[in-house]
């Protein structure tokens, strides 16, 4: 099957052969001295592990009157700070004017922010302004959990000839209150990887967690899933940062995080791993059973739907639902499953079951 993407591998354009590919630097460029000092400290502490320096120049803020970035004036500061330590630099661009200014300042890599990826018009304008330009572009996932929108943005850039492309997974906005600023919803980048393994995936634990305590855990999870790199915000004095103060780490802490990460082998090739293959085969068989059982359950729901219709009963019966949940939680607990998982699982099963019942009731 030929892919719709034509992508130059990350190792090829970055020259970085070993995982993880590390992008770091402050959320925002605040001043010349701040960038130089932060970059110097990053190199002193973790120089051999860093590959690309980030710095926001134009900041997309939820509310007006927050710090909106220093603007164009900061581009040469960032570029020279990178030059001083021999590293490429990257900035977020949200429109063709940003692209033009960034190219003029010889910024090495561009990234598209989550609030821009949601808008096909904005992405298309950026793509059009990049026609004929050979520059790597990293695309953050859209704010909302929509893989197609994410892929669409990458596709628009690829269509104008940008081949050095990567995806940045920074978590997704959710209405529910969670411990994360942007819950990771790992299933989405995993599906991206399954469908297009050629697209490199860089995990951004800073914007996912929204808190510096969560960065190590999320970065390790990203590595455990075999993703390619990390984008972590680092500032010389995080508490005093003009944006995202809670989630930035000092260069010292960044080095600790990077040193502590365990990066596992991405591909398994040797035959010593036969036991792993056997276990995977068992998992696949169990997944098949789960699907077969769920289909059977939905068939029964349809029969229940017919009976409810004849007897003029409502589809949703709250006592029955409460009973199903109670039973599942009790049984699941003894099997070592968490309440959160069971609740989500049964909510999904229940929704699907209601869909089947409604279909029957509408039809007959
Ligand atoms: C950022 O990287 O500083 C940023 C604004 O990120 P996001 O687009 O993921 O919110
Ligand atoms: Mn930020």
Looking at residue 266, its pLDDT comes to 59
* Ligand 1 geometric centre to CA of 113 (Å): 5
Looking at residue 3, its pLDDT comes to 72
**Ligand 1 site, residue 209, Cβ cutoff 6 A:** no
**Ligand 1 site, residue 113, Cβ cutoff 6 A:** yes
SS3 223: helix
Ligand in closest contact with the CA of 56: 1
SS3 19: coil
**Ligand 1 site, residue 105, Cβ cutoff 6 A:** no
Is the preceding peptide bond at 305 cis, omega within 30 degrees of 0?
A: no
Q: Which atom of ligand 1 is nearest to the CA of 141?
A: 9
Q: Which atom of ligand 1 is nearest to the CA of 60?
A: 5
**Ligand 1 site, residue 138, Cβ cutoff 6 A:** no
Spatial neighbors of 351 by CB under 8 A, at least 6 apart, are none
Question: Which of 52, 53, 57, 60 has most ligand 1 atoms within 8 Å of its beta carbon, as the pocket-test mutant?
Answer: 60
Looking at residue 168, its pLDDT comes to 99
Helices vs strands, H then E, count in the chain: 14, 8
Looking at residue 61, its pLDDT comes to 87
Residue nearest to atom 10 of ligand 1 (CA): 114
Tokens of 41: 């400290």
Whether 239 and 27 have beta carbons less than 8 Å apart is answered as: no
Beta strands 201-203 and 165-169 are: parallel
Looking at residue 32, its pLDDT comes to 98
The DSSP-derived string for 48-85 is: GG--EEE-BSS---SSTTS-----GGGHHHHHHHHHHH
**Ion ligand 2 neighbours, Cβ < 5 Å:** 27, 244
CA distance 272 to 363: 55
Question: Which of 115, 167, 247 has most ligand 1 atoms within 8 Å of its beta carbon, as the pocket-test mutant?
Answer: 115
- Regions of the chain with pLDDT less than 50: 1
| pTM, to two decimals | 0.79
Residue nearest to atom 6 of ligand 1 (CA): 113
| ∠ CA 192-195-201, rounded to 5° | 35
Looking at residue 267, its pLDDT comes to 60
Q: Which atom of ligand 1 is nearest to the CA of 207?
A: 9
* Ligand 1 geometric centre to CA of 170 (Å): 8
């Amino acid at each position: 099957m030929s892919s719709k993407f034509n992508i130059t591998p990350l190792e090829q354009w970055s020259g970085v052969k070993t995982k993880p590919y590390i992008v770091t630097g402050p959320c925002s460029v605040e001043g010349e001295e701040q960038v130089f000092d932060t970059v110097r400290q990053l190199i002193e502490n973790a120089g051999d592990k860093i590959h690309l320096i980030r710095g926001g120049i134009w900041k997309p803020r939820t509310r007006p009157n927050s710090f909106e970035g220093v603007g164009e004036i900061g581009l040469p500061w960032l570029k020279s700070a990178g030059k001083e330590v021999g590293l490429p630099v990257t900035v977020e661009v949200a429109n063709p004017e940003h692209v033009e200014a960034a190219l003029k300042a010889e910024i090495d890599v561009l990234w598209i922010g989550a609030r821009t990826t949601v808008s096909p018009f904005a992405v298309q304008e950026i793509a059009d302004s990049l026609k004929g330009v050979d520059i790597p572009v990293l695309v953050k996932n859209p704010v909302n959990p929509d893989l197609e929108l994410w892929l669409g943005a990458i596709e628009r850039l690829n269509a104008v000839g940008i081949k050095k492309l990567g995806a940045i997974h920074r978590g997704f906005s959710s209405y529910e209150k969670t411990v994360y600023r942007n819950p990771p919803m790992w299933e989405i980048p995993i599906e991206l990887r399954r469908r297009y393994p050629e697209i490199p995936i860089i995990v951004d634990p800073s914007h996912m967690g929204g808190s510096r305590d969560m960065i190590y855990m999320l970065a390790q999870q990203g590595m455990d899933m075999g993703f390619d790199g990390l984008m972590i915000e680092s500032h010389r004095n995080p508490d005093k940062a003009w944006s995202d103060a809670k989630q930035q780490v000092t260069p010292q802490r960044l080095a600790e995080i990077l040193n502590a990460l365990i990066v596992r082998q991405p591909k398994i090739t040797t035959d010593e791993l036969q036991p792993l293959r056997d276990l995977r085969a068992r998992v696949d068989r169990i997944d098949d059973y789960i699907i077969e059982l769920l289909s059977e359950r939905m068939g029964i729901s349809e029969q229940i739907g017919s009976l409810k219709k004849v007897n003029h009963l409502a589809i949703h019966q709250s006592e029955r639902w409460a009973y199903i949940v109670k039973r599942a939680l009790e049984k699941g607990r003894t099997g070592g499953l968490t309440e959160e998982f069971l609740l989500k699982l049964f909510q999904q099963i229940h929704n699907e079951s209601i869909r089947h019942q409604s279909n029957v009731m509408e039809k007959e």
